Structure 1
Amino acid sequence: MFKTYHIKPMSISTQLMLVVALLCFGFNLKAQSLSELKTTSAENNLNLKAQFKAFEAQLEGVTQAKSWQDPNLSFGYFISPIETRVGPQIARFSLTQMLPWFGTYKAKGDIAAFRAEAEYEKFQDQKLKLYLEVAQQYYDLSALRHIADLEAKQLRILKDLKSVIESNYENNKANLVDILRVELQIDKQLSVIQVLKDQDQALVTQLNQLMNRQLKTPVLISNPKQILEEKEVMQTDSVSKNHPRLEAIRQLQKSNKAESELAKKQAMPQFGLGLDYAIIQDRNVQNADAGQDALMPMLSVSLPIFGKKNKSRKKEALLQGESLQFQLENEKTRLESEIQVAHYKQDELYSLLDLYDKQLLNLKDILQLSEVALANASMEIEEVLRLEEERLLYEKQRVRTLANLHKTDETLSYLTSNSEL
């Protein structure tokens, strides 16, 4: 005998809680655009954070460079007091402050400030490179998922072909081996789809690593096909005048000029201001100044008579300046070369895209005719499978070409960016 259980309906409050939970889950898994992924990576990427901390550490050097030298305080005690007219001298305090030539501290501060600016430009370049890497991973993932959709579509086509062959077999218009041949293709297609799922997870892991979040966090892309079909051609042919890679060298050049100025300042004498305080013991001698401590202001000047090191400093700054100028010219040439290579690649990809579009258009007509012929048993299944495989191959190549076009556009965007982004 069966027992009957009555299930109570959920209360309204429970239903509302479930709805809210589903909504929250849906918002957490909403698709993110490329710009949102770039922003997330800029906020969380560990390598970028390390670069910014390096800039902040370099910035602290400005305060250190502009700070005065610490004064020197010395104390001396005479084991055998020195007799003076007003009494024996038993101890002495000395306080000395060295002062460099006028403008020395400013030059040191400028050197540190310009080096900090160069470090900031490196941070800017690192951020732009991170954006480029995120974009490349994003378009690779979009292409992979679009290809997965094409492979799933191919699986449905193979199953439809199997139904046609089975129908022909029942009517003695096909052989059993034809059915087995299609089944082999279906098994192969299922294996390909599984491999694509594994590759998808690998790309998601790499993208999450760039954003410094849980490696298995889902990355949702609303419409991979639509994203890849959006074509934007970068027309810029010239290097940005203030690209971070160039600005970093320019800031080092400014630092080098400040170093040249500092070398001149260090060739000048330094001044020292001091104060001596001597403690005199009172021995009740008959003198109005007996036992009165002595106070003596002092002035000292360094004598930069050994000029070799100063000449070496100036020559070092000059040679470093020439080296930086060569680096700047070389970096400009490299950027221009990379831009030209990206444009050549862009033209090549557009030519391939036109070729694939033409091939797919021709194959579409051929396949329509071949499907009719297969249904009438006037065409072998091997030829139909070959045509379907060829069509799938061109479709996948077209998808990869579209992804490479977007990646090339992102590369051009990086190469023509400026440090203000």
Structure 2
Amino acid sequence: MKNRFRINTAGFIFSIVAISVFLIASVGMAQTLEAYLEQAAENNPGLKAKYTEFEMAMQRIPQVSSLPDPSLSFDYFVSPVETRIGPQKARFSLTQMFPWFGTLAAQKDAATLSAEAKYQAFLDAKNQLFFQVTAAWYPLYELNEMLRLQNENYEILTTYKQLATTAFSNAKGSMVDVIRVDILIDNSATDIALLEEKLKPLRTAFNKLLNRPDSSLIEVATALDIGAMEAGIEADSLFVENPMLKSFDLKINAAEAQERAAFRHGLPKFGVGLSYVFIDERPDVNIVDNGKDAFMPMLSMTIPLYRKKYRAAVKEAQLQQMNFTLKKSNLENNLLSAFDMANYKMEQAKQRHILYGEQIGKTGQAIDLLHSAYSNSGKDFEEVLRMQQQLLRYEMSQATAVKEYYTAEAQRKYITGR
């Protein structure tokens, strides 16, 4: 029989070897997962789209911070306008309008801050993608562990069947024992087949996050343990690095700048220009400057009489500030709740991992004792099988605890933006 329990006759040496294997596996796991995160950051189309939104927002800055185009007009007098020095034939006019002082600067500030908010949204999308990749990678580890454990269990059950058959042949056991283990072997074979089927959708989901073909091979860790949890984070600095909270701060500042711009839009705009008039000579007189073209500077000003639209624009910007402030407050509440839940899940998984480890050791001892008793008397074979299946459940639950721990840890990192 393949015995999973080892009596601790060389406990110190075993502990050193186990710690070394864990450290090597942990380093390999970190390197592998880090490589996948880099691939996702480079290839994921959704993340690229988020960065494109930031680039689009950057293009708004020169649009809103530039002067309006100058106005060029040409007038031709079908009926010439007579003047003292001759009839006016045509006129060219060039005018440039200028908004009130500080309007363009306020618009530029608003667009720049909005673009910075888009960049923070891109960072949040990257963090969310990293969490999704991590949350898709650990179930693959769990599935591989379950397949390994189920295959080991299948081999052990096959060995038990041989023992039960031998005991029955020697009149120490019953045929019922052979049938019982046959039933468990069939169950194990079905479980293995179902786990192998489950691998395909998990692999597809993971590869699509990296924008790779569905069937691309995925490397996962072969042995993982749960280490010590990180030290607690002070409440006042819990979400300092969270990109979405930074994004709301930038949106609030952008709305303030937009309010300043909206107010200045309600102030007069000034225009300066030049007008050139073509004048023909008068043939009937001889005077100074006869037929001399006219050159005139011009000054204009808009009068914002209809104030309702300007007041509405200012009010809209103020409401935007209130809206973003409330959304930020709501997000902080949700993040704090999610952070506490992630901490609880990590602690829960850690405690379960410890419990299952202890139960695995005790169950292994019980199996050794039951197996020895069965070898001598041919009795309690049903209890041997029950304890063997209980051991399998503990080992599979321990693999699940590892997955849940690191998934919750990844969620906590996403929440804090660290």
Scaled by the length of structure 2, the TM-score of the pair is 0.87
Q: Residue 229 of structure 1: which of 222, 225, 240 is its match? A: 225
Aligned to 1:64: 63
Q: 1:306 & 1:182 partners in 2: Cα distance?
A: 90
Give the match for residue 246 of structure 1.
245
Q: Which 10-residue stretch deviates more, 175-184 or 124-133?
A: 175-184
Amino acid at match of 2:232: T
Query: Shift of residue 340 of structure 1?
Result: 1.1
One-letter amino acid of the structure 2 residue matched with residue 62 of structure 1: I
Q: Relative to structure 2, which stretch is displaced further, 379-388 or 330-339?
A: 379-388
Q: Deviations over 1:44-66 (max 9, x none)?
A: 11100000000000011011111
Superposition RMSD in Å: 1.9
Query: In structure 2, what residue type is equivalent to 1:252?
Result: K
Residue 380 (structure 1) shift: 4.1
Q: Give the aligned partner of residue 15 of structure 1.
A: none
Q: Which amino acid aligns with 1:171?
A: N
2:195 is matched with which residue? 196
The 8 Å contact of residues 234 and 412 in structure 1, kept in 2 or not, is answered as no
- Which residue number in structure 2 is paired with residue 358 of structure 1? 358
Name the stretch that deviates more: 384-393 or 55-64: 384-393
- 1:232 deviates by 4.1
In 2, Cα distance between the equivalents of 1:303 and 1:350?
Answer: 71
Which range is displaced more, 188-197 or 60-69? 188-197
Q: Alpha-carbon deviation of 1:106?
A: 0.8
| Aligned residue in 1 for 2:80 | 81
Which range moves more in the overlay, 322-331 or 291-300? Answer: 322-331
Partner of 1:276: 275
What amino acid is aligned across from residue 343 of structure 1 in structure 2? N
SS in 1 for 2:78: strand
CA apart distance, 1:132: 0.7
Bigger shift: 77-86 or 242-251? 77-86
Contact kept in structure 1, 2:117 and 2:250, CA below 8 Å: yes
- 1:209 paired residue number: 208
Determine whether 1:334 maps to 2:334.
yes
Q: Is the 8 A contact 2:146 2:399 kept in 1?
A: yes
How far the C-alpha of 1:377 sits from its partner, in A, is 4.2
CA contact (8 A) 2:226 2:350 kept: no
Give the letter aligned to residue 49 of structure 2.
A
Contact 1:88 1:280 in 2 (8 A): yes
Deviation larger for 372-381 or 68-77: 372-381
2:346–2:406 contact (8 Å) kept in structure 1: no
Report the Cα distance in structure 2 between the residues aligned to 1:224 and 1:284, rounded to whole angstroms: 105
Checking the alignment, whether the CA contact within 8 Å between 1:263 and 1:314 is kept in structure 2 is: yes
C-alpha deviation, 1:360, in angstroms: 2.1
**Separation in 2, partners of 1:242, 1:352:** 31
Q: Which amino acid aligns with 1:185?
A: L
Q: Alignment identity in percent?
A: 33
Equivalent position of 2:93 in the other structure:
94
- What is the CA-CA distance between 1:341 and the residue it aligns to? 1.4
Counterpart code for 1:304:
P
The letter of the residue matching 1:208 is N
Question: Which amino acid in the other structure matches residue 105 of structure 2?
Answer: K
- The Cα of 1:179 is off from its aligned counterpart by 2.5
The answer for the alignment partner of 1:382 in structure 2 is: 382
Deviations 1:191-249 (A, max 9, x none): 2212222222321211110011122110122x422xx2142413334322231011000
State the Cα distance separating 1:153 from its structure 2 match: 0.7
Q: What's the CA shift for 1:386?
A: 1.8
Letter in 2 for 1:382: E
CA distance in 1, matches of 2:409, 2:219: 22
Give the secondary-structure state (helix, strand or coil) at the position aligned to 2:339.
helix
Letter in 1 for 2:222: P
Amino acid at match of 1:229: D
Check the 8 A contact 2:69/2:96 in 1, yes or no. Answer: yes
Aligned residue for 2:394, secondary structure, equals helix
The answer (yes or no) to whether the contact 1:284–1:290 under 8 Å persists in 2 is: no
Q: In structure 2, what residue type is equivalent to 1:360?
A: I
Q: Is the 8 A contact 2:226 2:405 kept in 1?
A: no
- Residues 138 and 207 of structure 1 are in contact (CA less than 8 Å); yes or no, is this contact kept in structure 2? yes
Contact 1:141 1:203 in 2 (8 A): yes
In structure 1, the gaps of 5 or more residues are 1-29
Does residue 259 (structure 1) correspond to residue 258 (structure 2)? The answer is yes
Aligned equivalents of 1:184, 1:357: Cα separation in 2 = 27
Unaligned runs of 5+ in 2: 1-27
> Which residue does 1:16 correspond to in 2?
none
TM-score if structure 1 supplies the norm length? 0.87
Do the aligned partners of 2:267 and 2:304 also contact (CA within 8 Å) in 1? yes
Are 2:159 and 1:180 equivalent residues in the alignment? no
Distance in 2, Cα, partners of 1:147 & 1:231: 21
Determine the structure 2 residue equivalent to 1:407.
407
User: What is the letter of the counterpart of residue 235 of structure 1?
Assistant: A
Partner of 2:392: 392
One-letter amino acid matched to 1:240: F
How many residues are matched?
A: 386
Q: Deviations over 1:388-412 (max 9, x none)?
A: 1111111111110111011111111
Contact 1:168–1:377 at 8 Å: present in 2 too? no
The question of whether the paired residues in 1 share the 8 Å contact of 2:342 and 2:408 is answered with: yes
What corresponds to 1:36 in structure 2? 35
- Check the 8 A contact 1:267/1:310 in 2, yes or no: yes
Amino acid at match of 1:374: Y
Which amino acid in 1 is paired with 2:363? L
Work out whether residues 173 and 378 of structure 2, in 8 Å CA contact, stay in contact via their aligned partners in 1: no
Distance 2:358 2:381 in 1: 25
Alignment partners' CA distance in 2, 1:186 and 1:413: 42
Q: Is the 8 A contact 1:119 1:248 kept in 2?
A: yes
Change (3 A) 1:380 1:242: closer
Tell whether the 8 Å contact from 1:51 to 1:123 is kept in structure 2 after alignment: yes
2:131 corresponds to: 132
Aligned to 1:10: none
d(CA) in 2 for partners of 1:396 and 1:356?
9
Is 1:53 paired with 2:77?
no
1:147 corresponds to: 146
Report if the CA contact (8 A) 1:208-1:214 is conserved: yes
Q: Indicate the residue corresponding to 1:307 in structure 2.
A: 307
